Amino acid sequence: MPAISDTSASARSSVDPAEIARFSAIAAEWWNPHGKFAPLHRLNPARIRYIRDRICAAFGRDPEAERPLEGLRLLDVGCGGGLVAEPLCRLGATVTAIDADPQTVGVAATHGREMGLAIEYVATSAEALAAEIAAGKRPAFDVVLALEIVEHVSDVDFFTGTLASLLGPGTLLVMSTLNRTPKSWLFAIVGAEWVLRWLPRGTHEWKKFLKPSELARSLETAGLTPTETVGLVMELTGSFRIEPRDLDVNYMMLARKP
């Protein structure tokens, strides 16, 4: 952990207010697969499959079972509309999902209720939840997901430190984000925002993207052990597949908490 300044950890936040305002404006769009979040809908099958399989491998579950994640306590940080929380709940996990934006959490919670899914949605920050765990008000999690979120936070090391404190011993952290390469600038900024307009312009700031080595170092500093990094590659059809060696644009990283 980096040295903490004079502000206390619980009062400090990794949330950037300008980013929150942007997402709030488009919260209702979350569940429209052809809407502004179409890229996340397209990412979903590949990344849910990867997450399911890796959680199953880590906890000795059968991925082909009807509810393979039954009983595992899972936290989705930066849950957005619940695109990841809902499938993992259907697969059996006991899901807590948080987002800093109350409107987005409202959208997600409403949708989850309509789907008959018991997901605990909370409009809070990872830091506040970590403080609850530290105070013994709730147990630590078996799995923490932080997907497409670290590229939006203002202090990466502080954020990964918080993620580490949400996990119990012998548990799993799953992250996904965008690499900082010329190709990712071309695909994620020029392609997705300027040309194809899949994302509103200004969704991403390329300079905030992390190279895998930088993220791994930050996780190690937080006391976690990175175990695997894989790429997510877009196919010509617009869907994605896991590609272990191509980390140039989107990638996922797993880390164990010893």
Partner 1 sequence: MSAAALTCEIVIIGGGLAGMTMAAALGSAGISTVLVDRDTAETRLAPAFDGRTTALAFGARRLMQAIGAWDAMAAEAQPILDIRVADDNSPLFLHYDHSEVGDDPLGWIVENRHIRWGLLQRLGALSGTVTHLCPVMANHVERAPAGVTVTLSDGREITARLAIAADGRASPLRQQAGIATDRWGYGQQAIVCTVAHEDPHNGVAIEHFMPSGPFAILPMTDDAEGRHRSSIVWTEKERLVPYYMQMDSAGFELALRRKFGDFWGRVSVLPSAGAASGNERFTYPLGLMLARHYAGERLALIGEAAHVVHPIAGQGFNLSVRDIAALAEAISDARALGQDAGGAEVLARYERWRRFDVATLAGTTDVLNRLFSNTEPVLKLARDLGLAAVGKVPPLKRFFMRHAMGTVGELPRLMRGEPL
Nearest-approach distance from CB 109 to partner 1, in angstroms = 13
Closest contact distance (angstroms) between CB of 85 and partner 1 is: 10
Instruction: Please report the sign of the dihedral spanned by the C-alpha atoms of residue 41, residue 44, residue 46, residue 47.
Output: positive
Nearest to 106 by CA among 80, 67, 131: 80
What is the Cα–Cα distance from 248 to 15, expressed in whole angstroms?
A: 26
Torsion, Cα 14 232 86 152, to 10 degrees, reads: 20
> Which residue in this structure is represented by tokens 């008959």?
116
Pattern 113-152, binding to partner 1, x per CB under 8 A?
-xx-------------------------------------
Distance CA 246, CA 90 (A): 30
- Among positions 27-86, residues that touch partner 1 (CB under 8 A) are 32-34, 41, 44-45, 48-49, 52, 64, 66, 86
CB of 24 to partner 1, least distance (A): 21
- The minimum distance between CB 48 and partner 1, in angstroms, equals 5
Q: Which of 209, 153, 214, 184 is nearest to 13 (CA)?
A: 153
Q: Which of 12, 22, 90, 217 binds partner 1 (CB under 8 A)?
A: 90
Given the rule CB under 8 A, which residues bind partner 1? 32-34, 41, 44-45, 48-49, 52, 64, 66, 86-91, 111, 114-115
